[in-house]
Amino acid sequence: MSEYICPHCGKPIYDDEALLCLYCGENLERGVGTLGKMRYSNHWTVVAIVVGLTLISFIVLMMR
């Protein structure tokens, strides 16, 4: 069970699925869904990995 700190009041939140802070009621600014649950996700990194894998698979396909 991981601990998440509320960005507004600084209190720890232990519920992994909570979207609102239990203490102050503010949004915890968490993503929803598979990619959104990556805690420190950088969207450009995910896009770069997908594009890179697509290019590599296309090159491998053309070499055959």
Please return the burial class of 4, using the count of CB atoms within 10 Å of its CB with bins 0-12, 13-18 and 19+.
middle
Residues of the domain holding 23:
4-63
Check: pTM over 0.75? Answer yes or no: no
- Return phi, psi of residue 34, to 5°: -65, -50
Alpha-carbon distance of 21 to 64, in angstroms, equals 54
The two three-digit tokens of residue 24, written as one number: 């102050």
The average confidence (pLDDT) of the chain is: 82
> Does residue 21 contact residue 9 with C-beta atoms inside 8 Å?
yes
pLDDT at residue 60, as a whole number: 96
Domain count of the chain? 1
Per-residue pLDDT tens over the stretch 27-53: 887 766 665 555 555 677 888 899 999
